[in-house]
Amino acid sequence: MHRVVPTLEILTFLEVRMKNALIALTLVVAVAVLLAGCGKSEEMKKIETALNTEVMAKHDELMKSMAGLEDLTAQITTAVAKHDELVAKYPKETTGHTTADLVAAQEKITAAKTAMEEWMKGFKPYDPEGKHEAVVAGLTATKDALAGLEKQFAEATTAAKDALASHTKTADDLMAKVAKKKR
């Protein structure tokens, strides 16, 4: 014998199951909306802000260093002119002394300034609305690029200062030597 389940019981059973499924789906969607709407945690925001502050401080420091590079360029120009003057006045005493180190230092300065200008063209400011992982990756890459520029600036500055010191000493030694001969 087959048991006949009344149609009303089946429909009621299906309605209850559908209502439960609908309630479960609604809860899942509500939780997803809540989680998506929360955005970044305070810790994420703090990490991003700290990284951005570090990047901007390094940028500001390098911009100040650009003025120092400009000053070194002027000093190199003056040293080359003085060298040329001494070579013209004392060709015999200055034989073998060139401005190659000054020119090389100036090239390093120019390369450092050009690298900074190129970096600035491609710089993308911090976007607090961006995805945390992308923001952190971008700020970290920017920080690394600025560290490379900082190294390049330091090398250019050292080369310029060393070349200038060498030329100043050579000029001073030459002038002392010439003064002794005149006595």
pLDDT at 5 over 70: no
Q: What per-residue confidence (pLDDT) applies to 23?
A: 73
pLDDT at 171 over 70: yes
Q: What per-residue confidence (pLDDT) applies to 49?
A: 94
Distance CA 54, CA 45 (A): 14
Q: Phi first, then psi: give them for residue 161, nearest 5 degrees.
A: -65, -40
Q: What per-residue confidence (pLDDT) applies to 40?
A: 86
Contact 90, 178 (CB under 8 A): yes
pLDDT 10s digits, 128-156: 999 999 999 999 999 999 999 999 999 99
Domain locations along the chain = 1-38, 40-182
Percent above pLDDT 90 for the chain: 68
pLDDT 10s digits, 70-125: 999 999 999 999 999 999 999 998 898 999 999 999 999 999 999 999 999 999 89
Residue 112 has a CB neighbour count (10 Å cut-off) of 23
Strand, coil or helix: 134: helix
Task: Report the predicted TM-score, pTM, of the whole model to 2 decimal places.
Answer: 0.74
Q: What per-residue confidence (pLDDT) applies to 135?
A: 93
Indicate the average pLDDT of the chain. 87
Give the H or E element holding residue 26.
Answer: helix 7-38
Q: What per-residue confidence (pLDDT) applies to 19?
A: 73
CA 66 to chain CA centroid, nearest Å: 14
Percent above pLDDT 70 for the chain: 80
